[in-house]
Amino acid sequence: MIPGFATFEGTSRYRSRFAQLADAGHFRQAEHVPGAGELWCPSIGLGTYLGEPDDKADREYVDAIAEALQSGINLLDTAINYRHQRSERNIGEALAKTTAAAILRRDEVVVCTKAGYLSLDGNLLPIRGSISSASMSSLASSIPETWPVAATAWRRAI
């Protein structure tokens, strides 16, 4: 676990290392965003949604995240359901590497994630019966009243 979170001081420090980008207006403050309005964020971030949930994609993501962090992108977007939790773990690994190498500090990076989605943990389970990938997505995003029915079907399928 990497302690800390993005701060005004940290994102300002990060921004100052990229003076040419800052002068061009690359970093902005979202003044009307509660809790984040003082942070300096780039005009483009790095999303981690697409890709296979496999080791090859993990390596590529960790490398891309580290490269982005060293190139003026300090805003990373992820969610628990992106690549079955692997994207969040890839961000953690890239942050651990770059902070351990003193390339940056945790308070310089804004990480956006989401909550409320039930996800597989890292690897796909074998699917049997009538449950398909599409219905698993429906299960995870179903309204709470339908969860017991979908969960029962899921248990029967595995």
Q: What pLDDT tens digit does each residue of the chain (158 aa) get?
A: 889 999 999 999 999 999 999 999 999 999 998 889 999 999 999 999 999 999 999 999 999 999 999 999 999 999 988 999 999 999 999 999 999 999 999 999 999 988 776 666 666 555 443 233 222 332 222 233 334 444 444 444 44
Residue 155, pLDDT score: 41
Residue 133, pLDDT score: 29
Apex CA 79: angle with CA 53 and CA 105, to 5°?
100
Distance (Å, rounded) from C-alpha 106 to C-alpha 99?
A: 7
Residue 117, pLDDT score: 66
Residue 35, pLDDT score: 85
Distance (Å, rounded) from C-alpha 65 to C-alpha 60?
A: 9
Distance (Å, rounded) from C-alpha 112 to C-alpha 16?
A: 22
Residue 154, pLDDT score: 40
Burial of 38 (0-12, 13-18, 19+ CB in 10 A): middle
Question: Inter-axis angle of helices 147-157 and 133-141, to 10 degrees?
Answer: 150
Q: How is the chain split into domains, by residue range?
A: 8-117, 125-158
Residue 120, pLDDT score: 65
Residue 123, pLDDT score: 63
The residues with which 28 forms a beta bridge, in sequence order, are 41
Check: pTM over 0.85? Answer yes or no: no
Q: What is the CA radius of gyration of the chain?
A: 19
Kindly tell me the sign of the dihedral angle through the C-alpha atoms of 101, 67, 87, 54.
negative
CB 68 within 8 A of CB 46: yes
CATH architecture of 8-117: Alpha-Beta Barrel (3.20)
Residue 76, pLDDT score: 97
